[in-house]
Chains A and B, each alone.
Chain A
């Protein structure tokens, strides 16, 4: 009974957190970014109207700084919540994330899709996306490898995802028993919330494989 209410509580916390993250991401993208664009347009107008070369150059520098800020805000918004998930779907959002992942950590991820992508609810897409993100970040942090693979397998009523690396691996029981390693527990919890499953296999010196599965209705 107590275990059930604890799972319900953590489910509620994860959902509430995701909603808040999405709200902040939208606010950054559709609120703050748009205001900054307006200021940028104003600066461009000022730049063309000014005659004093010192002021002109100062305004140009301000515009360049503002452009950098706009770019930062846009990237921060995407980092918080991948809006392409609802517009372009899970695979496209993941490909976009992988580009950013490689340019951040230098680890190349080979992505492969078998079968045709099927419709998943936004919350289920997000659960899978976050679980993949966690698995990939663990590769960057601990696997000590330069390459890994991510495979989407779309079957009739189930999506399977395999994330595999040939890095240094770990002793699974030790890690699962360590209360400080909450990332794996969070992955399992997210997948369970979506009605799916997350299995991990690893051996020291022989890499790690994360297998996600999510049943869906066509």
Chain B
């Protein structure tokens, strides 16, 4: 998606994030896409932008830095792949609230960085077991690169 820096400085930051989510949703036809971001001046993480959600639970979910799939991705700065939730996961299923909230079975989450520091996470998820291949990895990374361009404006607001 073409990005004009001035666009992000105005009020349509929400539109930009949601448009990026919807665009990715179309390109990889997954069930759910969510952007988790750290709160302003606070390490807690919430899900301000989602697409393909089946309920409004995401609006209330706040995970601590290092907790949940998004908190872990932000804390470690590494991608995270869950193939068949809740089997073969580290810890308990309750440590993955967004997977429970949206009844996801397979998911892939990637860090979104500001000046090289992870401040958010982009997650794609499926409600049935679904392999995540190289093409999807590539498309997710591409969306993350776009989001990284306007993410600094989110923290400036």
User: Which residues of A are at the interface with B, using a C-beta cutoff of 8 A?
Assistant: 68, 72, 75, 102-108, 137, 140-141, 144, 146
Contacts and interface: CB of A to CB of B under 8 A. Distances in A.
Contacts of B58: 106
A105 B93 contact: no
A68 B97 CA distance: 21
B100 A105 contact: yes
Given A68-B65, A105-B101, A141 B93 contact: yes
Contact of A146 (B55, B100, B103): B55
A140 B99 CA distance: 11
A146 B60 CA distance: 10
Interface of B: 43, 55-66, 93-94, 97, 100-101, 103
B60 A68 contact: no
Given A68-B43, A141-B100, A105 B65 contact: no
A71 to B, nearest CB: 8
A108 B60 contact: yes
Nearest to A68: B43
B32 to A, nearest CB: 14
A interface, by DSSP: helix, strand, loop or mixed?
helix
A75 B57 contact: no
Q: Which 7 A-B pairs have the closest CB atoms?
A: A106-B57, A106-B60, A106-B61, A103-B62, A106-B101, A146-B55, A105-B97
A103 B94 contact: no
Given A104-B62, A107-B60, 8 more contacts: A68-B43, A104-B63, A105-B94, A105-B97, A108-B60, A140-B100, A141-B94, A146-B55
A72 B67 CA distance: 10
Nearest to B55: A146
Contacts of A107: 57, 60
A75 B67 CA distance: 12
Nearest to B86: A141
A144 B65 CA distance: 26
B56 A146 contact: yes
A128 to B, nearest CB: 20
A140 B93 CA distance: 10
Given A105-B101, A106-B57, A140 B64 contact: no
